[in-house]
Structure 1
Amino acid sequence: MTSCKVGLRWLALAVLALLAIAFWTAPAAAQFPEKFTNLQVLPKDISREQLQSTMRGFAFGLGVRCDHCHVEKTDDAKKPVLNYASDDKQTKKTARVMLQMVAAINRDYISKVSDMPAEPVKCVTCHRGLAQPRTLNSVLADTIEEKGVDPALAQYQHLRQKYYGTGQYDFGETPLNQLAESLLAQKKTKEAVAVMEMNFASNHPDSLYAYHMLAQAHQANGQIEKALADYSKVLELHPDDDWANEQISSLSHPK
């Protein structure tokens, strides 16, 4: 099963790589200039091949195409062309700042951590194929805040169907556990229950953390019988769990 998942992950990454290369097929690659102007961060003597390879890395890392940063216009034949030198797009200005940040991380920090691997930080390190690198729980938290829990649950299923196995988001149990914990801290008990029940339906977790969060959500929402069943499952996994024993005793013999 594990080898199957690994194989699927590598297959997904290979597909993404092919898509990134496809971003650079005609017309974008064909119109890539022979000479460059307005290079402010990248070396001014960079070769055409090196620059193309660097740009492919950006496209792959962010899951975007050339026109994400470069202004698109039409030529005399009404065909779309890119103005690579233009600074009219804010995303291009942001990209320059991000390049400087990555260079500083690799030069001033990574190099000083002796137990870190030699692999340098790149765009894909954080972006993972997303133009805006965000964790799954933060995306869902915003949706819950703006639209409610039901749209967030639907959003989770949509994102899972679209991105599962590609690495853009973590669809394991932990992000949903963390989201539920945050919701409980905000006294949003119904939302926490909905998130944890979806977590169990989608991921079938078997960890203490997951059962603790499910139990606490049910308990906070007044679903005592379900909470007792959850805490009992915790004890099946970890018989010496003092917190679960205390909660079962307290819920079974309320004062």
Structure 2
Amino acid sequence: MDALKRSLIEKAGHDFGFEYTVSETPESITLGSARHPLHVEIALAASNFRLHFGNAKHQLLNELKRDFPLHDREILSDSVNSMAVVFKRAAALAHALPNQAENDFGSALTAELNKLPEGVKNTEVERIVRQRVGQDTYRKAMLEYWGGACAVTGVAMPEVLRASHALPWAECESDAQRLDVFNGFLLTANLDALFDRFLISFDSNGIVLIAEDISENDREFLGLHSNLSLRWVANQHEPYLAQHRLRLKARQTKNSQGGSE
């Protein structure tokens, strides 16, 4: 691999989530990042670049398969530009998926708590700081996982996107659950409000489920229709979604019996 190709690869890596060189040989170069643990080895393969994700976890590889043809941990790219697209998506997934988000939360929380006066441990102040930092970390991870676009509509305006939880924040048993990108979806504000109140949910295939007590008139104003569906749904979403669907069903049962929220 000549010096020009190496320079172009390193620049693409630096710009799209792999900012430093881990190692290199005459035939290849391996890039990594301080923000996530993923490494990618790039080598020439005929007229293509071979991108090998040797230390990627199966969960991340399964997500990459949604966007790129992947075989034996490898993706072939025919140009530096197409390689940059792979870099960007792989880095976003590496930074968003469970464990990494939890690690980021731990570091950010420690930094925030260190700014506070002595004596706040186990107080309401610490609880508020913990929740704020956790929700910021979760939102960032969700934006990265969903590529900055609504999980249903594809709207890509961060100002109107919300990181929704299927299992509510207050009911999660651990930070790992609260920060799990599979515990919810990135949704536009109206869909987030409906999802949060168990007025909509999604079946195991990602098709929207709409509460029966939402009138046809309100459905039209809210943009709700039976053709709405998640852009994709992973197996890891299902345990959380199953609980969420039960809450929608329980809410409908309560309302049909004359109860109220």
Provide TM-score, normalisation by structure 1: 0.29
Query: Which structure features the higher share of strand residues?
Result: 2
Query: Which structure features the higher share of helix residues?
Result: 1
Provide TM-score, normalisation by structure 2: 0.28
